Structure 1
Amino acid sequence: MDEFDAIRPFRDHEVRQVIDRLIDQHDVASVIARFRYPKLPNWAHAMLSLLGRQLLRYELRNIHDVASFQKLVWDFVDRSVKRTTRGLTVDGLERLDRNRAYLFISNHRDIVLDPALLDYALVTAGMDTAEIAIGDNLLRDPMVSDLMRLNKSFVVERSVDGLKAKLVALTRLSRYIESTLARGQSAWIAQREGRAKNGLDRTDPAVIKMLSIYGKKRGMSFAESIRHLNIVPVAISYEYDPCDAMKAAELQAREGQEAYVKADNEDIASIVKGISSPKGRVHISVGTPLTADYVDADAVAAAIDAQIVANYKLFPSNLIAYEQLQKPATSFAARLQFASSLQEDARQRLQQLAAQSREAWDRLDAAEMRRQAAEFRARIAEYPEKLQHYILEMYANPLMSKIAVQPT
């Protein structure tokens, strides 16, 4: 038995057996039926899921290896992009060496779409997909586990108990990522455990410490181990977050010091909603590899944050949310004065960034400007009043982050 068997993606020789197992599971057909026909009533979805099993058997008849399964995933993501976005734009891939493997570290807003859209962009640019790190908390459902590991996902063991067991799991994960890069395969991991539900993208230094474990065991200095990983920060920006209300409900519960207990299949519901619901415009910005002599995990985290925040694309939704939070001030200039607690240089940077966003927005014709403002305000108005402040902060925080994270 290979030391990585418990956490690695499925290999080509295992694919057909897993596919056959998935076909016999009701949930897979149901999820596909809801994605393809989201407006149908529940009773119709139940009927479609029965028919969907036969459709799945036919559509997957020629899937016998990872590459053919990923082609199916690419087609699926392509449909999602065309149906649920107003366009996906990408920059930065042209700066990468196609003959090198990279460890992409991105902000984390959507359970599945963040790495799926990056893979989609890589394939569209003629590059290979990355292996994807996913927490074992999301793999309790056998269907989700099978689908993820078919799609080149490896497991981050978060649920292990005991310090010794945790260290063993972290060391194995660090070694697996290093070995993956060594065989020329790029990988993706989120900058932190769990999605950034409040819109604040911050790298957890614990992730960096985990990544450096194996290099240290090989006798590398910390700086050498980080350079060896070819870390590339990635900023993923969504104009609208399909799961914003679900995230806001969790934020409200936690702020009220309530014990937040996830509903059954809540993660699956988030995955389906993220894939199938409108997202507006989406942008992926691929940064530059980290090559400096970093002294510790905090320094690496700060460097990743600096690139992600700088490269995050602001949309009108971010600016409108920011302005909404500044009421009852009556003018755009007056609303900026809320930042009186900030240092003067930080306040000036915020004013400059907000003004730049406003200028870009003002270049739209008046009708389009009114449409976008009305669209966002109507979206917020649909949510319960008790959640609206959390949602506005969620959209405003990327703008605030532009002044909170200093360039390094």
Structure 2
Amino acid sequence: MSKFDHIRPYYDTEVNAALHEFAHDPMMKAIMNFTFPGMEDQEWVDRLKRTHSIRDFQINFIYPALNMVLEKSSQGLTTSGFDKLDGHTAYLFISNHRDIILDTSLLNYSLYNHNMMMTTSAIGDNLVKKPFLMAMSRLTRNFIVQRGLPARELLLSSKLLSEYINNSLFHENRSVWMAQREGRTKDGNDATHKGVLKMLGMARGDMSEMEYFKKMKIVPVSISYEYDPTDALKMPELLARSRAEKYVKEKNEDFINVLTGIMGQKKRIHFHTGDVLQDEIDEIIEQHASPNKQIQALCDAIDASIISNYKLWPTNYIAHDLLHESDQFADNYTADEKKEFVERMTKGIKVDNPEIVRNFLSMYANPVINKMAPLVHKE
């Protein structure tokens, strides 16, 4: 047995057996009927049972499913920066995190469209409690991040994750995707958590952290949705946070967020892959002797790339102007776009609660604010 067995995706030799096991699961039927609406069930079942690799499952089933998601819930996906990547090189993609499933799915969709290798991707164990969801995550090359562990177990889990990522990048030559922090960004402030980088550095061996990060070929990814399909669903947590209250999730909250994220309206979507952080790391090594300051400087470099390459949509400018009761960015949207945004907000949240309205608008406005004056981290 491999030490990664409880967190790794399926090996290709395990794919066919898993598909046989779950081919008749009601959730598989729902996904396939959505993806292939004119196809008889037996046909897609037979196709599943003839599938023997993750790549074939992704290309023949997940890719068409994502095409349908984009067709039904968006006005299209655009990309930039991918042409600067090398198709034979493994990268560590670190991105802001807006949607539980689609962020990594659409990154892989975009990589495939650019003839690049698809990634292995981190997913929280809170999202794969049901056997079918665990199987689907392993069939789409996700590895499991264990949440809510006691300190000692968390340390051991972090070391194992670091080793798994090291193995993927340097032994399998497989790119890796991770979010810049645990969980999705709820308030539109995209900031990299030092704990993520410290975890990544655990498997560096005798190398210094910065040299190891340079070897990992870190590529910041900026993910921009014109509409966040789960915007209204994020309000209770933001409200609790603004009141310094502990937020407790509802029983099926994660699952509802997954479904809403996939099928909720997103309008336009843009993915940008930044430059590999190489010169930036050299500068960090020159400017900072303290390992802690080096880690923070690398967080800042990732943040600067994500924020500067974030595509601002009319919704971001509208929210900024509504939040500040101004028309500062009125040239960036039309009256109809503003009306549509206000109608969406009015239908989605309690607009008679100023605190909720402020949280909702801030979530869309913060990328504008951060782009004008990028986040400054303090020691």
Which TM-score applies when normalising by structure 1?
0.82
Q: CA deviation at 1:32?
A: 5.6
Q: Does 1:63 align with 2:51?
A: yes
Residues 26 and 53 in structure 1, CA contact (< 8 A), matched pair in contact too: no
Q: Does 1:171 align with 2:159?
A: yes
Q: Distance in 2 between matches of 1:235 and 1:19?
A: 33
Over aligned residue pairs, what C-alpha RMSD do you find? Answer: 2.3
Q: Does 1:246 align with 2:233?
A: yes
Q: Distance in 2 between matches of 1:370 and 1:52?
A: 46
Long gaps (5+) in structure 2: 285-290
Cα 1:279–1:230 change in 2 (3 A) is same
Q: Distance in 2 between matches of 1:247 and 1:322?
A: 18
Cα 1:35–1:156 change in 2 (3 A) is same
Q: Distance in 1 between matches of 2:22 and 2:357?
A: 39
Cα 1:264–1:299 change in 2 (3 A) is same
One-letter amino acid matched to 1:61: K
**Who wins on radius of gyration, i.e. which is larger?**
1
Q: CA deviation at 1:266?
A: 1.8
SS across alignment from 2:271? strand
Q: CA deviation at 1:53?
A: 7.2
One-letter amino acid matched to 2:219: V
Q: Distance in 2 between matches of 1:86 and 1:25?
A: 31
Q: Distance in 2 between matches of 1:388 and 1:68?
A: 45
Q: How does 1:204-283 map to 2 (within 5 A)?
A: 204-215=193-204, 218-283=205-270
Q: CA deviation at 1:126?
A: 1.1
Moved more, 6-15 or 132-141: 132-141
One-letter amino acid matched to 1:272: L
Q: How does 1:6-17 map to 2 (within 5 A)?
A: 6-17=6-17
Q: Determine the structure 2 residue equivalent to 1:125.
A: 114
Residues 272 and 309 in structure 2, CA contact (< 8 A), matched pair in contact too: yes
Q: CA deviation at 1:115?
A: 0.6
Residue from 326, 334, 337 that aligns with 1:372: 337
Residues 318 and 398 in structure 1, CA contact (< 8 A), matched pair in contact too: yes
SS across alignment from 1:169? helix
Q: Distance in 2 between matches of 1:57 and 1:14?
A: 17
Cα 1:275–1:143 change in 2 (3 A) is same
Q: Distance in 2 between matches of 1:249 and 1:33?
A: 33
Q: CA deviation at 1:371?
A: 2.0
Q: CA deviation at 1:389?
A: 2.4
Q: Determine the structure 1 residue equivalent to 2:308.
A: 310
Cα 1:172–1:191 change in 2 (3 A) is same
User: After superposition, what is the alpha-carbon deviation per residue over 1:104-123, rounded to whole angstroms, capped at 9, x for unaligned?
Assistant: 00000000100111101000
Residues 29 and 52 in structure 1, CA contact (< 8 A), matched pair in contact too: no
Moved more, 60-69 or 279-288: 60-69
Q: Determine the structure 2 residue equivalent to 1:319.
A: 317
Q: Distance in 2 between matches of 1:56 and 1:15?
A: 16
Residue from 56, 66, 79 that aligns with 1:90: 79
Q: Distance in 2 between matches of 1:120 and 1:323?
A: 34
SS across alignment from 1:60? helix
Q: CA deviation at 1:141?
A: 2.1
Q: Does 1:146 align with 2:135?
A: yes
Q: Determine the structure 2 residue equivalent to 1:297.
A: 295
Cα 1:36–1:12 change in 2 (3 A) is closer
User: After superposition, what is the alpha-carbon deviation per residue over 1:108-162, rounded to whole angstroms, capped at 9, x for unaligned?
Assistant: 0000100111101000111111111111122222221111111010111223324
Moved more, 20-29 or 314-323: 20-29
Q: Determine the structure 1 residue equivalent to 2:367.
A: 398
Residues 33 and 41 in structure 2, CA contact (< 8 A), matched pair in contact too: no
Cα 1:26–1:52 change in 2 (3 A) is farther
Q: Does 1:332 align with 2:327?
A: yes
Residues 16 and 63 in structure 1, CA contact (< 8 A), matched pair in contact too: yes
Residues 304 and 374 in structure 2, CA contact (< 8 A), matched pair in contact too: yes
Q: Distance in 1 between matches of 2:103 and 2:174?
A: 18
Q: Determine the structure 2 residue equivalent to 1:157.
A: 146
One-letter amino acid matched to 2:82: L
User: After superposition, what is the alpha-carbon deviation per residue over 1:274-327, rounded to whole angstroms, capped at 9, x for unaligned?
Assistant: 111210110011001111233522111110000000000000100111111123
Q: CA deviation at 1:14?
A: 0.8
Q: CA deviation at 1:36?
A: 8.3
Q: Determine the structure 2 residue equivalent to 1:135.
A: 124
Q: Distance in 1 between matches of 2:196 and 2:344?
A: 35
Residues 238 and 279 in structure 1, CA contact (< 8 A), matched pair in contact too: yes
Residue from 169, 187, 192 that aligns with 1:198: 187
Q: Distance in 2 between matches of 1:246 and 1:23?
A: 31
Q: Distance in 1 between matches of 2:302 and 2:64?
A: 31
Q: Distance in 1 between matches of 2:375 and 2:229?
A: 30
Q: Distance in 1 between matches of 2:320 and 2:303?
A: 21
Which TM-score applies when normalising by structure 2?
0.88
Residues 198 and 390 in structure 1, CA contact (< 8 A), matched pair in contact too: yes
Long gaps (5+) in structure 1: 38-50, 334-353, 362-368
Q: CA deviation at 1:33?
A: 5.7
Q: Distance in 1 between matches of 2:33 and 2:346?
A: 30
SS across alignment from 1:313? coil
